[in-house]
Amino acid sequence: MTIPWLTLAIALPALGGLAVALLPRDRAETAKRVTLGVTLATLLLVVAMAAQFAPSGSGPLQFEEVYPWIPQFGISFAVGVDGIALVLILLSVLLVPLVVLAAWHENDDAPDQGKGYFALILVLEAMMIGVFAATDVFLFYVFFEAMLIPVYFMIGRYGRGEGRRRAAVKFLLFSLLGGLLMLVAVIGVYVYGGTFLWSDLADPAGGLAGVDTATARWLFLGFFVAFAIKAPMWPVHTWLPDAAGSSRPGTAVLLVGVLDKVGTYGMLRYCLELFPEAAKWFVWPVVVLSLVSIVYGAIVAIGQSDMMRLIAFTSVSHFGFITLGIFAMTSQGQSGAALYMVNHGFSTGALFLIVGFLVARRGSAAIADFGGVQKVAPVLAGVFLVAGLSSLALPGLSPFVSEFLVFLGTYAFHPVPAIIATSGVVLAALYILWMYQRTMTGPLPDSLAKLRDLSGREVWAVAPLIALLVVFGVYPKPLLDAVNPAVERTMQQIDVSDPAPAVGQAGSSSGGAEGESE
């Protein structure tokens, strides 16, 4: 009997969310326990599935399931994963229980609100798994749009600050605009390809192979703009700082750590593999936008006075590196981009959680309200430093590996953009170290004299992320073994090869000359 792993992974948190929503309003503690239990069960289920994944499998997808859904229009409930989708699903199911732990006492003053927030977390988890697992383009679009609903309420109803409703509406409007453009492209794909199944559409011998060049480029743009908004790339990034700044830290972790990866994942899975010629034609515009995102996001982050908004702007810069790696059109660049998605989730997730602990203690995310925290909370300050150093890609921590691969892969074809992109590393050191200096070092204000260090629950919430940053910084092979075969298939699909090493060419030429002379 074949176990429907992915269907179970989607159904478990979805049903758990329904169960939490149906609990009585005065059962907030029960809601927390049920939510944590469901998220841990989902994590164990996905880990068990991942243990059976064969990176060098014969086909592009594993754990495939296809069930008729709307057969009149050829729409199926079709799911499956390659190595990239698998590691992103693992990232999702890891972050959710950590968010639940971190948010355990956030609603103690209003327990009637906690039940709804935790139910939304579970529903969102189901949709995050679904969007990475979907192999029917229409099903992908459904999950892509459905994710907006829980996030809208998590920001607008359960967020922080007076501007949370405006930020939620802005997030929704930007996302709906991108979704509308993608819907047009999805319809176009069906009209020209005759199916919604990704495996058929990506088949070089069929699917969209017969689409004329101009049409393919317009369809590419429909998907790309939607993914650029979700990613977010400059200049369609403006919703993110408002949304992250008005969110609870746990919401920001899932928003930036997972949901934004749907955009860059979609570029790899749909933009490149369905429209290879169009993707190559748009390389330079995307490279330029990526460079602007890298530099702009970093410079604006330096000037932020709110830690939540600062981290959000750093993510604009980091996503510039990811899109640069994707459109470098080299295996190193795309492997680095895929690895960057995961490592950014670890790094940014840790930063948002730690800032959340500070906000819970001080009631503010303003940098000016802190100082000298390491004197009274050394563990908190130490964890904050490690998370911050990972964000600036310090060697020995996992983001360094992915950033180095992006630089290596980009330099092979685009040396000037690669050199320009290195400015993002210098700027990252400025915004991270300056934030740490202003909040953790210096004189201790009297208002922070009784600030407590991390509790046991908080340590459990952030320690796994710190551990993974160190482990994959020293030994990234398990992640690379999973994503590299998927990247190789993408390179074959878009018919691009890595450039031969110049040193190797020179050595071969000299060796040949010597042989001839002898």
pLDDT tens for the chain, residues 1 to 518: 588 999 999 999 999 999 998 888 878 788 889 999 999 999 999 999 999 998 876 678 889 999 998 888 888 999 999 999 999 999 999 999 999 988 877 765 555 566 888 999 999 999 999 999 999 999 999 999 999 999 999 898 888 878 888 988 998 999 899 999 999 999 998 888 888 888 888 877 767 777 888 988 999 999 999 999 988 888 888 888 888 888 888 888 898 888 889 999 999 989 898 888 898 999 899 999 999 999 999 999 998 888 988 998 898 999 999 999 999 889 899 999 999 999 999 999 999 999 988 888 888 888 888 888 888 889 999 999 999 999 888 899 999 999 999 999 898 888 898 999 998 888 988 889 999 999 998 888 888 888 888 888 889 999 999 999 999 999 999 999 999 998 888 888 887 777 776 655 544 444 443 443 33
Q: What is the DSSP letter of 443?
A: P
Which of 449, 461, 438 has the alpha carbon at shortest distance from 365? Answer: 438
User: What dihedral angle (degrees, nearest 10) is formed by the CA atoms of 187, 188, 194, 195?
Assistant: -50
pLDDT of residue 220: 92
d(CA 518, CA 512): 10
**458 with 356: CB under 8 angstroms?**
no
- Name beta bridge partners: 79: 65, 134
Structure tokens at 167: 């930020």
Structure tokens at 119: 């139910």
Structure tokens at 398: 């996992």
d(CA 167, CA 159): 9
- Would you tell me how many other CB atoms lie within 10 Å of the CB of residue 426? 10
pLDDT of residue 501: 66
**164 with 246: CB under 8 angstroms?**
yes
How many DSSP H helices and E strands does the chain contain? 24, 2
pLDDT of residue 113: 61
- Name beta bridge partners: 77: 67
Core vs surface per residue 98-107: b (16+ CB within 10 A) or e: bbbbbbbebb
pLDDT of residue 511: 43
Alpha-carbon distances of 434 from 301, 424, 516, rounded to whole Å: 11, 15, 60
First to last CA, the chain: 65
Which of 185, 106, 103, 90 has the alpha carbon at shortest distance from 140? Answer: 185
Q: Which helix (H) or strand (E) holds 274?
A: helix 273-274
pLDDT of residue 58: 65
Alpha-carbon torsion (21, 358, 318, 489), positive or negative: negative
